[in-house]
């Protein structure tokens, strides 16, 4: 890789519970060098297994809004009653250092990134069905009934955007979805415009 070659920006999106986190955990197990997961800031409360600074930077609403005022975000959005945002400086630092960056964000944020970075690579993870999606979300056992309802209410709108993304990966059989993400990644990092 030449010294001034920039990293590529990947956006992984899709409805809550579709398996984005699971697929990316597998991806990062197999890809340790040259690629960076952008840890977002959120006002959502941490789930029992989540670690501050690893899964998210967990902050109060005031802290988040201060970061908005200070122009710290590349994009941010309200989703299901909580605020989520991508740190601008970190992403630019990595891309400028030739490191590829992966954002795992919801669809409003993905739209903003696509407008700002026309060359970003967008991947939408598709559920096998809405019923299976709801069953996964409930099976994860991390959301209250109200939060499950809010997340499910967003799904039909999110699925309408399917054809706006460069890649759709169906997450039916997990290993097959993981292999597809790996193939997309390898193709894109070896492919020059
Ligand atoms: P997201 O990050 O998109 O919200 P998760 O990765 O947390 O979704 O996955 C939601 C739930 O679905 C988890 O309990 C996960 O283990 C499960 N899951 C993910 N992919 C599959 C799959 N292909 N088949 C069955 N269950 C899956
Ligand atoms: P969760 O609460 O399940 O962790 O995340 C809810 C949704 O917010 C998921 O679709 C996740 O991808 C998305 N998300 C996480 N971080 C960000 C971010 O920085 N910006 C945006 N727009 N969405 C995010």
pLDDT in tens, 117-161: 999 999 999 999 999 999 999 999 999 999 999 999 999 999 998
Residue partners of 85: CB distance under 8 A and separation at least 6: 40, 41, 42, 64, 67, 68, 72, 73, 74, 75, 76, 77
* Positive or negative: CA dihedral 41, 9, 12, 71: positive
Specify if 4 maps to a domain.
Answer: no
Residue 51 has pLDDT above 70, yes or no: yes
Specify if 112 maps to a domain.
Answer: yes
Would you say 4 and 115 are in contact if contact means Cβ atoms under 8 Å apart? no
Structural domain of residue 102, as residue ranges?
Answer: 9-190
Span from the CA of 139 to the centroid of ligand 1 (angstroms): 9
Specify if 2 maps to a domain.
Answer: no
Span from the CA of 131 to the centroid of ligand 1 (angstroms): 13
Beta carbon of 14 within 6 Å of any ligand 2 atom: no
pLDDT of residue 193: 63
Specify if 56 maps to a domain.
Answer: yes
Cα 172 from Cα 184, distance rounded (Å): 17
Q: Which of 13, 40, 46, 139 to mutate to test the pocket of ligand 2 (most atoms within 8 A of CB)?
A: 40
Specify if 3 maps to a domain.
Answer: no
Cα 152 from Cα 148, distance rounded (Å): 6
Structure pTM? 0.97
Number of domains in the chain: 1
Q: Give the domain CATH number at 70.
A: 3.40.50.300
Q: Which of 57, 89, 102, 104 to mutate to test the pocket of ligand 2 (most atoms within 8 A of CB)?
A: 104
Span from the CA of 42 to the centroid of ligand 2 (angstroms): 8
């Amino acid at each position: 890789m030449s010294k001034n070659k920039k990293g590529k920006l990947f956006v992984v999106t899709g409805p809550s519970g579709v398996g984005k986190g699971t697929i990316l955990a597998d991806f990062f197990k197999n890809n340790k060098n040259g690629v960076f997961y952008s840890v977002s800031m959120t006002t959502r409360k941490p789930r029992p297994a989540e670690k501050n600074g690893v899964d998210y930077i967990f902050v109060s609403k005031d802290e988040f809004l201060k970061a908005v005022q200070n122009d710290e975000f590349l994009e941010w959005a309200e989703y299901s009653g909580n605020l989520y945002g991508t740190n601008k400086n970190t992403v630019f630092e990595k891309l400028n250092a030739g490191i590829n960056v992966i954002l795992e964000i919801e669809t409003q944020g993905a739209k903003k990134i696509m407008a700002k970075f026309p060359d970003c690579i967008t991947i939408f993870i598709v559920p096998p069905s809405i019923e299976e999606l709801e069953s996964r979300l409930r099976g994860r056992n991390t959301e209250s009934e109200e939060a499950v309802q809010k997340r499910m209410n967003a799904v039909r709108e999110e699925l309408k955007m399917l054809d706006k993304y460069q890649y759709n990966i169906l997450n039916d059989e997990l290993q097959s979805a993981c292999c597809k993400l790996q193939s997309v990644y390898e193709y894109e990092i070896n492919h020059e415009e």
